[in-house]
Amino acid sequence: MPQGRRFIEAARRAIRPYAGRIRTFAIDREVEVLPGVFSVPAPGHTPGHVSYRFSSGNETMLIWGDIAHQTVIQLARPRWRVGVDVDQAMGVESRLRTLEMLARERILVGGVHVPWPGFGRVLADGEGYLWVQRPWQLGLGPIG
C-alpha cells in the first residue's frame, strides 16, 4: 500500500458512521465552508491537510493545524524537513507560504503544537520567523 494510502483508508473508516451527514469541500483551493470560516490548503503533513481561517469584521485568526510541530525550531528554520510530514517537500512549501502570509498580514494564530494558551503571532526574522506568544487572558473579549 503506498505510504499516503493508509491515511486515506483510516479516514474512510473514521467517517463511515457519519455517511450522509458530512459536507465535503475542495482541498486544492480556499473554500468558505461556513459563513466566515475558510479552509486554506496546507498539504504536506497528511494528504488533504488544511488550515482554517476565521474572519469576522476586521479580525482574522488562522487555526494552522500541523503547519509546525515545534514552534522554536520550525519557525527559525522553516526549510528544515520533519519526519512526521508524509510529503516533506510539500510540508516545507506549505509552512513557508503560511508563515509568510501570517507575518505579512499579522494574523492571529491558534492551534496545536504551540505553548499554552495556544495563541500567538508570527514575525519575520531574517531567514526564519519568531513565535510571539499571546498571554493568557481571563474572560471573554477580543484576543488580538
**Cα 112 to Cα 69: distance, rounded to the nearest angstrom:** 8
Question: pLDDT tier at 11 (50, 70, 90 boundaries)?
Answer: confident
- Supply angle C-alpha 121, 127, 132, rounded to 5: 20
List, edge to edge, every strand of the sheet that includes 59-63: 31-34, 37-41, 50-56, 59-63, 108-110, 119-125, 128-133
Question: pLDDT tier at 92 (50, 70, 90 boundaries)?
Answer: very high
pLDDT for res 93: 96
**What is the residue extent of each domain of the chain?**
5-133
Instruction: Say if residues 120 and 109 touch (Cβ distance below 8 Å).
Output: yes
Determine the topology of domain 5-133 in CATH.
Metallo-beta-lactamase; Chain A (3.60.15)
Helix, strand, coil percent values for the chain (each to nearest 5): 25, 25, 50
Question: pLDDT tier at 2 (50, 70, 90 boundaries)?
Answer: low
- Within 8 A by CB and 6+ apart from 26, the residues are none
Question: pLDDT tier at 139 (50, 70, 90 boundaries)?
Answer: low
Question: b/e string for 57-84 if b means 16 or more Cβ within 10 A?
Answer: eeebbbbbbbbbeebeebbbebeeebee
Question: pLDDT tier at 116 (50, 70, 90 boundaries)?
Answer: confident
Instruction: Say if residues 112 and 52 touch (Cβ distance below 8 Å).
Output: no
Confidence (pTM) = 0.81
Question: With 80 as the cut, is the pLDDT of residue 3 above it?
Answer: no
Q: Tell me: the pLDDT tens digits for 40-83?
A: 999 999 888 999 999 999 999 999 999 998 888 999 999 998 88
Mean pLDDT, residues 32-39:
95
Other Cβ atoms closer than 10 A to 95: 26
